[in-house]
Amino acid sequence: MEPILQLTNISKRFPGVQALDGVHFDICPGEVHALVGENGAGKSTMIKIISGVHRPDSGEIRIDGQPVEFNNPREATERGIATIYQELSLYPELTVAENIFMGHAPSSQVGPFRKINWGEMFDRAQEILASLNIHDMDVRRKVGSLSVGNRQRVEIAKALSINARILIMDEPTASLTEADVERLFEIVRLLRERGVGIIYISHRLQEVFELGDRVTVLRDGQYIDTKPVSETTEDELISMMVGRTIDNLFPKLPSEVREPVLEVRDLRRRPSVRGVSMQVRAGEIVGLAGLVGSGRSELAQTIFGITPAQSGEIFVNGQKVEIKTPAQAVKLGIAYVPEDRGTQGLIKEMTIRENVSMAVLPELARGGFIDFAREKTLAQEAIQQLNIRATSVQQIVAKLSGGNQQKVVVSKWLASKPRLLIMDEPTRGIDVGAKAEIHRLMSELAVQGIAILMISSELPEILGMSDRILVMREGRLVAEFSRDEATQENIAAAMMSAQMENNHLVMERSAR
Amino acid sequence: MTATTQSASTTAAAGSGVRARLSGFFNQDVVLALLVVTLTIFVWLVNPRFLAQRNVLDMLNNSSYIAVAAIGMTMVIISGNIDISVGSLIGLLATISGQIAIGAQDGGYPLWIAFIVPLFVGALIEAFIGFLVAYLRIPSIVVSLGMFSILKGALILWTNGVWIYNLPDDFMLAQQAPLGVPVPIYFMVILTILAALWMKYSATGRAIYAVGGNREAARLSGISEKATIMKVFIINGVMVGIASILFATQFNAIQSTVPPGLELFIITASVVGGVSILGGTGTVIGSTLGSILLHVIRFGMQFVDVSQYWLQAVQGILILVTVMVDLLRRRRQSYSGRG
């Protein structure tokens, strides 16, 4: 069959990262084409190129065999491409019908104005929903009062209202209940019968096998392969997704693992942390792997008191403690290098000196006044130790590069002489040189006896740096590997494919 | 006006050590001071009477209570908040102070109580605002706007707008002039210096800048952002209390109403003085120079015979220009190379 949409040799570069490199993709009418890959494989970039958000640097997009160029999302919409993003883009204060017809409400010209034909809009909204076998939704209701599953149905109806021929669904089941997942699958099948081409992105490989006709795998922005779903297996997909080589970027030093510094027992914080028990020992780097949304960052934030635990126990150096605020965590010798240094790590208008001392102000102060000489020494040591490239300690951190900003955040926490260092994506978005330096530093800190808990979405980083690897999924720890037994395949399998328990239920029900 | 500052600070980062040190001297405060001097010389050239000793002291004297209130306002704005209620609060505290002074005249308690109570009441009311802002996370503009109306209404209900006369002579603090210099000027200078040192060198001062610069990052660094915001508002309350006493004791009667637009004049002084309306940057010295600058303009206009009605427009233009320069500076400051 002739594809409706065809992408050939698409490349896209962002500052510092080749997001897509010569990727191919096509979709036929009445087909569900699944797109899989790890975090950062380039799936989102590809969707954004198809939906007109980004323009490719090179390559060709054809619709019905004709080359096209999208300058903005509207032009893609006009060609019948609709996208349902993970975070739904509806207006909560408007009605279902208004949301469905946002931007193209049925209207008539009255003098210089356009008048919305409300009756027609409600009727047509009802029709569209009915065509999706949705009969239980009031089109006059405000979207804000709907459940997540119902909002998603509104999104799909919205796509149909523009006669979408290609529907992109980005992780559509991520936040749905099982019953909603089942209804979604029915709708997807209905649309497929109607000849809509569906690009289906999901981490849940079971869904790929249940719904998909073909599947395309991306890895690190590279096109790996496209296969009919019937001719592949879950294991094969996982190995295609993770088949990266571990380069020798991370010289992990051997380190003596000693007594536990942190222990948590059945830690819970709804909705993302659902009963976690683990230990991190002095001198040890524990890698915490998992998909985005698996609860890794939330676990870190619960330990650090940003979102305090609702139940469970935390022990620091064997002592049972309560951590309700970050200030308490800091006093207990816990440090947290956050995922987003811009909003959580730095005060960008301030100097390096002021940022480095931020977590140790009470120790630096005498009688409430800061010892400026000591503060300056501290900042100078940080610049030397971490090789921060700056003109002086007085430089405003906003003017530093991403890697150097990250080093400032790390030095802020080293100044507090932590026993436990939690690092959330410590090398995301920084250049290779700075990355190696941060890895070297982590390794040295472990040798000095600091306990390190590292969250990372990059499996090579997890494998290269960790003494022990924990895998988190849906708010729980689901696997543990020693450094020797861990491979990309078994970690990735633990992250993704053991979704089975959940999805079996769904499959059984929808089979009925 | 601050355009020079901006180019100075831009070159500071790019330039060599010597240039950095040179332009470090050319910070915003120095530029403001130069502007005050330039403007003064300009008015003096048009009308030499402007620099008569009495006029200069008058001008500084008039700036003083604004400058003292602006010190508190500056801290509030640096912490990422704002306080609209200060105009009403000054009116209320001045009236409280005056009533107590009259009571003291009749005997029963010493006069100094009239100078102390407004400070406590100011701190108490601002602590309440601070509580709502810090702990209940209600935006400060809403809280202080509400407080503005409440205090204004309370004051009118209490006094019916009747002026307070027959104040005891000893009460007239602002009319004293040891060594020929009016008392308010001492207050302005001393409080500015103390507050500037405190903001620069104290751990709490640093925390105020940090919370205003990035509340989340400050909190994650172990700074108690709630306690910091509470402290800021309480200090502001004390500053407003002092300002209200200087205000109450400058004439032989107290107006018992809220001087219209007073809060905006105080906020203008801070903003013109280089305090970023987005929080995180600015200095107390700047805000005091800002207050003086506004008064040089106000007095200068009379001396060069320009209608007072222009004053509002000039004030407005100053605000727009300084805020624009601040935003441009922030935009340019972010790192533009590869992340």
Q: Which of B200, B220, B235, B328 to mutate to test the interface with A (most CBs of A within 10 A)?
A: B220
* Cis before A112 (ω within 30): no
Write phi, then psi, for B41 (nearest 5 degrees): -60, -40
Is the pLDDT assigned to residue A28 strictly greater than 70?
yes
The pLDDT tens digits for A313-369 are 999 998 999 999 999 999 999 999 998 888 888 998 899 999 999 999 888 888 889
Q: Residues A61, A5: contact at Cβ < 8 Å?
A: yes
Q: Check residue A200 and give its pLDDT.
A: 93
pLDDT in the model for residue A497: 64
Whether B330 has its CB under 8 Å from any CB of chain A: the answer is yes
In terms of pLDDT, which residue wins out, B23 or B338?
B23
Q: Which two tokens stand for residue A70?
A: 């999208």
Does B213 score more than 50 pLDDT?
A: yes
Closest CA of chain A from B284, distance in Å: 17
Give the pLDDT confidence of B1-49 residue by residue, as tens digits. 334 343 333 333 333 445 444 444 457 788 888 888 888 888 888 888 8
Given an 8 Å threshold on Cβ–Cβ distance, is A326 in contact with B219?
yes
| Listed residue (A452, A454, A500, A451) closest to A473, CA to CA | A500
Q: CB-based contact (8 Å) between B327 and chain A?
A: no
Q: pLDDT (tens digit, 9 = 90+) per residue, A78-117?
A: 889 998 876 667 898 999 999 999 888 888 888 888 888 9
**Range 391-420 of A in CB contact (< 8 A) with B:** 391-392, 395-396, 398-402, 405, 412, 416
Instruction: Name the pairing type of β-strands A468-473 and A476-482.
Output: antiparallel
How does A401-440 read in b/e, with b if 16+ C-beta sit within 10 Å? bbbbbbbbbbbbbbbbebbbbbbbbbbbbbbeebbebbbb
The larger pLDDT score, comparing residue B252 to residue B213, is at B213
Percent of all residues in chain A with a pLDDT value above 90, rounded to a whole number:
39
Domains of chain B (ranges, CATH numbers): 36-338 (1.10.3470)
Contact list, B209 vs chain A (CB under 8 Å): 347, 350, 354
Q: Mind telling me how many Å the CA of A497 is from chain B's nearest CA?
A: 34
Does B206 sit within 8 Å of A348, measured CB to CB? no
Pairwise pLDDT comparison (A410 vs A220), residue with the higher score: A410
The whole-angstrom separation of Cα B11 and Cα B3 is 13
For the residues A255-279, what does the mean pLDDT come to? 89
pLDDT number for residue B332: 67
Strands of the sheet containing A32-36, edge to edge, are: A66-68, A58-63, A5-14, A17-27, A222-228, A214-219, A32-36, A197-201, A166-170, A81-84
User: How do residues B114-134 score in pLDDT, each as one tens digit?
Assistant: 999 999 999 999 999 999 999
Nearest residue, CB atoms, B339 vs list A16, A331, A344 = A16
| pLDDT at residue number B85 | 95
Smallest CA–CA distance, residue B56 to chain A, in Å, is 36
Q: Vertex A240, ends A235 and A245: CA angle to 5°?
A: 120
**Cβ neighbours of residue A359 closer than 8 Å, sequence gap 6 or more:** A330, A335, A412, A413, A415, A416, B221, B222
Q: Which residue of chain B is at minimal alpha-carbon distance from A325?
A: B222
Across the beta sheet with A311-316, what order do the strands follow? A273-281, A260-269, A311-316, A319-321
Residue A243 backbone phi and psi in degrees, to 5: -60, 50
Residue A506 has pLDDT above 50, yes or no: no
Is the CB of residue A469 less than 8 Å from the CB of residue A478?
A: no
Query: Which residue in the set B206, B219, B330 is minimally distant from A361, CB to CB?
Result: B206
pLDDT for A408 equals 92
Average pLDDT, chain B: 85
Instruction: Mutation target for B interface from A17, A357, A358, A360: give the one with most B CBs within 10 A.
Output: A358
> Two tokens at A483?
């450094």
**pLDDT for position A357:** 93
pLDDT reported for residue A507? 38
Maximum alpha-carbon separation in chain A: 82
Q: How far apart are CA B303 and CA B64, in angstroms?
A: 20
Please tell me the predicted confidence (pLDDT) of residue A288.
94
| pLDDT value, residue A512 | 37
> Nearest Cβ partner of B221 from A364, A370, A412?
A412
Lowest mean pLDDT among A38-42, A188-192, B273-277, B306-310: A38-42
Nearest chain B CA: its distance from A389 CA (Å): 13
In the predicted model, what is the mean pLDDT of chain A? Answer: 86
Alpha-carbon gap, residue A370 to A248, rounded angstroms: 43
Of A326, A336, A365, the CB nearest to B203: A365
In chain B, % of residues over pLDDT 70: 90
pLDDT-derived band at A236, boundaries 50, 70, 90: confident
Q: Which of A331, A370, A391 sits opposite B201 (nearest CB)?
A: A370
Residue by residue, DSSP assigns A218-235 as EETTEEEEEEEGGG--HH
Q: Which two tokens stand for residue B137?
A: 């996370």
Which of A330, A349, A395 comes nearest B281 by C-beta? A349
pLDDT band at B174 (very low <50, low <70, confident <90, very high): confident
Write down the ipTM of this complex: 0.80
Residue B281: list chain A partners with CB under 8 A. 349
Q: Is A304 on the interface with B (CB under 8 A)?
A: yes
Give the end-to-end CA distance of chain B in Å, rounded to a whole number: 33
Query: Hey, which residues does A468 pair with through a beta bridge?
Result: A286, A482
Q: Is the pLDDT of residue A132 over 80?
A: yes
String of DSSP letters for A303-362: HTTSS--SEEEEEETTEEE---SHHHHHHTTEEEE-S-IIIII--TTSBHHHHHTGGGHH
Which pairing describes strands A166-170 and A81-84: parallel, antiparallel, or unpaired? parallel
What per-residue confidence (pLDDT) applies to A206? 83
Tell me the whole-structure pTM to 2 decimals: 0.77
Among B residues 17-36, those touching chain A with beta carbons less than 8 Å apart: 17, 20
pLDDT tier for residue B333 given thresholds of 50, 70 and 90: low
Helix residue ranges per DSSP H, B163-283: 183-201, 203-213, 215-220, 225-248, 262-272
Give how far A338 is from chain B: nearest CA, Å: 9
Report yes or no: B335 at the A interface, CB cutoff 8 Å: yes
- B205 pLDDT more than 60: yes
